[in-house]
Structures are given as C-alpha cells and as structure tokens.
Amino acid sequence: MPPSSLTISYAGEKGPVFWLALRTSILTVLTLGFYRFWAKTRLRRYYWSAIRPGGAPLEYVGDPLEKLLGFLVAVVFMAFYIGVVNLILMYFSFALLNANFAAYALSFLGLTPIIFFAQYRARRYILARTRWRGIRFGLEPGAWGYSWRSMIHWALTICTLGLTWPLTTLWLEKYRVSRTFYGDQRFVQGGSKGLLFGAMRHVYYAIGLGAIAGLMLYLYENPAWIVLFVLSGSWLIYGLAYWRAESFKRMTDAKQLGEMQFTAKPRPLRIIGIYALGGLVLNIVLFGLFFALLMVFAFIAGTADIENINLDLLESGGTAFLPVALMAYFLLLTLTRAITHAWITLPLAEHFAEVTEIVNTQNVAQIIQRDRDEFAEAEGFADALDVGAAI
C-alpha cells in the first residue's frame, strides 16, 4: 500500500552548485548576457532535482530557447511602451506643467500592472515546466486578475504603513494557490483573514520599540536609549526571520491537494544562521579579492607599498588599469552570485524542504496527467523587467 505520509529529502551540495553558478555566470558575461537563459535553466534543474518528496525528485523541463524567444517578444512590447507611451507622457507633462516629474510618475504607475502581470506569468511558466513522478504542475490563466488585485492590496499596505502586509500576503497567496494544479487535482489555500498577523508580531514589536527609543533619544539624549535602539534592530532581524518561517508554516499547514495535506516546521534561528554564515563567507572572499587587487595595482604602479600608491600614476596609466578594473568588476559579480547560491539559496532551500512533510498520501498514485500548457512568451516579461523570474 502507498505510504500515508511522505517526507522530503534534499540532495543538493554547496560545492557542485557553487561551480555550476560560477561557470554559468562567467559564460553569461562572455556572451554579453545571452547565456543567462541557459544558466537559469541549468540551475533550476539542479535545485529541482535536489528536492525529493518521498525520494522521487522534482523535474524542471523548461527550454532555454523558449525563454530567449519570450524575452525578445517582451522587449519589443517594452520598447513600444517606453518609446511611444513615455514620449506622449513627457510631451503633455512639459506642455501642461513645464516639468517632467509628472511623466515619470505616470510612467512608473503605468508600468506597475505590467510588473504584477509578469510575475504571475513567470510563476505559471515555471509550474507548467515542473513535474513530480512524471505528472505536470500547472497554473490557470489569471495574470490580469492577479495584477489589479495586487495593486489594490499593495495600495492598502502602503496606506496602512505596512500593517496589513500579512493580509495582503495571504490574499495574493490564496489567489495563486487556488489556481494551481498537480495533474488533475487543484490546490486549496485555507486560512482565515487573521492567519498571518501573529507571524508578524515580532516585527511590529521591534518597530514600535525602535520608534519609542529613537524618539526618546532625540528628546533626552540618554545613552540608555541608544542601547534600546540597537536592541530593537536585533529584534527586528529576528522578527523578519520569524515572519519568514512562521508565515511559511501557517500557509503550508493550511494548504490541501485533494485529500493530501502539508505540514512544515521551519526554524527562525536556522534562517538567521544561514544568512549570517553566508554573509561571513561572502565578506571574507570579497575582502581577499580586494586585497589581491590592491597588490595588482601596486605592482602596475611600480611600488610594493600599497599605502603609497601614486594616484597620479594610476590616473595617467588608465589604459593599463581599465582592463584590470573591468575584470575585477565582473569577477566580483560572478563570485557574489556563486557564493550566494552555495551559502544562502541552497541552504535555505534545503531547510524549507526538509522541514516539510506531505500527509494523507494514500491516493497520490491515482492523480492523472494534465495537458501541457504552451507559452508564447515564457518568462519574457519577467526577464525584461527583471522581476519574478529568479531561481
């Protein structure tokens, strides 16, 4: 008989993903960015295959050529928008107000619904190209509905200074999850309106304490308020980690797929530890790179004393230093990306995967295949706007 529950194992390792991210980043730089679609596909395949519910790995079957063609389609649309719509807005802004600030504001406002549209379309493409046990995931059309709902919810969040952010998160998650399928089975996101407010409580407390401490420090300049203000910052860091862990737990516990249910127990301190260790490794590597570059500059400048490098010589020898500076810049970008993948993204994926369990899975073998979703632009708009198309 099929098992009644499935735990999720994780098979990813830091070393392989570091070298994969580094190689693909270098190839992306050498191809002036065109390889990014192949790089993203290779990384997703690695991450997906490392997540193994019940020992069966996820599969990502996205095609990088689909991404490239979709990106080109989106670029044509965005070129029309930027070239024509912004020109019209700029004309009327100068004609009516003799300034350009109105044109910039309206241009950004007009771009906002396209950003949310792109995020939903990117999620739909990713799910359509994801499989488990050979069965496809899928997301129903609804990008424009998600777009206008997101604008309303974000406006409400901004007007309330972030107090309704938990409600916004839940509402948008319900919209996305209620349209998500695995095979012929639809996901359901449960939970009442107040489900996530408790997950945000430490953030509220820390901000309140910081505001009080800052006000009292401004009025009385007592050193004790400085300590309290610093403590509020530490509390805020914990609060953000607690929000990420607890909101994931609460929404996961409220999800269903047919008779299947989900449980999760992520730990806030583990999340903080991952970011702290990843940041430490990143700073050590970048500091070493910076010191090595200083040595190179000192050698080119003709002195072994780093503190006495002749700046005039550096300026006069710009042609010699320019290639070194460009190489250092791109090396910095590629190393930062590779270290972030190996020491932050992968450990976070591992933690959230291993603390999640699927229960009531007796009927999982009865789920049947769904039709393949075709996409004309893949993740093109998200790539063109650089939103919602990350790993």
Structural contact between residues 321 and 297, judged by C-beta atoms closer than 8 angstroms: yes
The answer, yes or no, to whether residue 318 has pLDDT greater than 70, is no
The mean pLDDT of 232-251, rounded to a whole number, is 95
* Average pLDDT rounded to a whole number, residues 77-105: 69
State which residues form the domain around 290.
1-60+266-354
Question: Do the domain assignments include residue 359?
Answer: no
Q: For CA atoms 115, 256, 12, 38, give the dihedral sign.
A: negative
- pLDDT at res. 100: 64
* 314 pLDDT higher than 60: no
pLDDT of 146 strictly over 70: yes
Backbone φ and ψ for 290, nearest 5 degrees, come out as -65, -40
Over residues 156-185, the pLDDT tens digits come to 999 998 899 999 999 999 999 999 999 999
pLDDT recorded at residue 264:
95
Is 323 a member of any domain? Answer: yes
- State yes or no: pLDDT of 364 exceeds 70: yes
Which pLDDT belongs to residue 112? 84
By percentage, how much of the chain surpasses pLDDT 70? 85
Beta-bridge partner residues of 256: 188, 261
**Residue 303 belongs to a domain:** yes
Q: Between 91 and 119, whose confidence is greater?
A: 119
Question: Which residue type, as a one-letter code, is found at position 162?
Answer: G
**What is the reported pLDDT for 313?**
47
CB atoms within 10 A of CB 134: 9
Q: Is residue 242 part of a domain?
A: no
Cα dihedral 20→24→25→28 (10° resolution)? 180
The answer to whether residue 75 scores a pLDDT higher than 90 is no
Which pairing describes strands 185-189 and 255-257: parallel, antiparallel, or unpaired? Answer: antiparallel
Distance CA 107, CA 112 (A): 9
- Contact (CB, 8 A) for 391 and 40: yes
Q: Look at residue 304 in the predicted model and tell me its pLDDT.
A: 46
Q: What is the pLDDT of residue 1?
A: 61
| The pLDDT of residue 113 is above 90 | no
In this prediction, residues 270-282 reach a mean pLDDT of: 95
Rounded to the nearest integer, the mean pLDDT of the chain is: 86
Residue 312 has pLDDT above 60, yes or no: no
**What's the domain count of the chain?**
1
Averaged pLDDT for residues 251-270: 94
